[in-house]
Amino acid sequence: MTDQPMTTAAANQPTSATPVAPNPDPAATPASAQAPAPGAAPDAALQSLREQLAGGDAAMMKQLERYRSTDEISKAFREGYKNAKNGGRQIELTDASTSEEVMAYREANGIPQDATEYPGAFRDGFEVTDADKAILSDFKAAMHERNVPPKMAAAALDWYQDFAAAQAQDLNAQLARVAGETQKTLRAEWGGDYDGQIGAAQELMKAHLGQDGFGEMMSLRLMDGSRLQDSLPFVKMMATIGADYYGSTAILTGDIEATGKTLEAQKQELLALRVANPEKFKSDDVQGKLTKIYAQLEKVSART
């Protein structure tokens, strides 16, 4: 190849090679390849340069439109040259990387410029909670801010889903274990009064929290994964308070009138001992029971 202009004869011969020497005749240069007129607006000049560099390639034109000045285009070209010089190995970003370098890196790795468009979603079958949704949003923002390639972010998200699923499985197993142990302990301790004790606790809480509030409170998870409703100390405490509040642990449906009838029946049974067994009726045991029943009936009457 020579720096000398082609001869007229050489120029007339067909060739597939692209001439490297500039055409000295501006009039012979296609209008689309000429430099912008000195008086052209900066945006028009930049757009003209983009069109020349794109050469009709729509994809290249779209890429070039990302650059807002000829200086950004020049820097991107130099970055590409560095990559090629390093055998195609991409140069990693550093704290000193320019915004243009970050833009080029994101383009090369499929990272969108807008964090909201960063790829990533929970897989089918994963039980997504509100907390998971918030975590995913923060996760995508963090991955985008750190310019993590989507494939690497997807791998991290897969790990999180595996971890969360295993943790949920462990917590559910703990819930079932604690619930079973609590019920077994209370049935052994309360015997036939189990349903009444549980009924008293439930009705007391529903009366003050409402049905929805009761359901929300009972489903609260403790640190070990079990529910509040399966906490042995809590259930025993509420049963005691409920029995005192309603005057009896015989509540099965929350029907205060039915509770009153149950207490009345117990009272009449004991009073019948005055004729059937006067000595037993006068005993401290029977008199103590009667005193307690009268007190309970007074409480029930006050709430009807």
How far apart are alpha carbons 120 and 135 in whole angstroms?
A: 12
Give the residue ranges of DSSP H helices in the chain: 8-12, 42-54, 58-64, 70-85, 99-109, 130-145, 150-190, 194-218, 232-246, 256-271, 273-276, 278-281, 284-302
Q: Name 122's Cβ contacts closer than 8 Å, sequence gap at least 6.
A: 128, 132, 136, 157, 161
**What is the token pair recorded at 237?**
């405490």
- For a pLDDT cut of 70, what percent of the chain falls above it? 75
- For a pLDDT cut of 90, what percent of the chain falls above it? 13
Tell me the sheet residues that pair with 227.
221
pLDDT at 22: 45
DSSP class of residue 67?
Answer: -
Q: State the average pLDDT over residues 256-274.
A: 72
If one counts every other C-beta atom within 10 angstroms of the C-beta of residue 253, the result is 9
pLDDT at 232: 94
Residues in the chain, overall count: 304
Residue 281 · residue 274 · CB < 8 Å = yes
| Of the listed ranges 153-157, 185-189, 298-302, the one predicted with least confidence | 298-302
Residue 267 · residue 297 · CB < 8 Å = yes
pLDDT at 41: 52
pLDDT digits over 40-97, tens only? 455 888 888 888 888 888 888 888 888 888 888 887 777 776 666 555 556 678 888 8
Q: State the average pLDDT over residues 85-111.
A: 77
How far apart are alpha carbons 33 and 74 in whole angstroms?
A: 18
Choose the most confident range, by mean pLDDT, from 74-78, 109-113, 154-158, 264-268: 154-158
pLDDT digits over 181-201, tens only? 999 999 998 887 788 788 888
Q: What is the pTM of this model?
A: 0.43
Cα distances from 122 to residues 97, 136, 161, in angstroms, run 32, 8, 8
pLDDT at 261: 53
Q: State the average pLDDT over residues 230-241.
A: 91
pLDDT at 63: 82
pLDDT at 289 over 90: no
Q: Name 31's Cβ contacts closer than 8 Å, sequence gap at least 6.
A: none
Q: CA torsion sign, 63 to 68 to 74 to 80? A: negative
pLDDT at 266 over 70: yes
Quote the mean pLDDT of the chain: 77
How far apart are alpha carbons 132 and 248 in whole angstroms?
A: 45
pLDDT at 35: 46
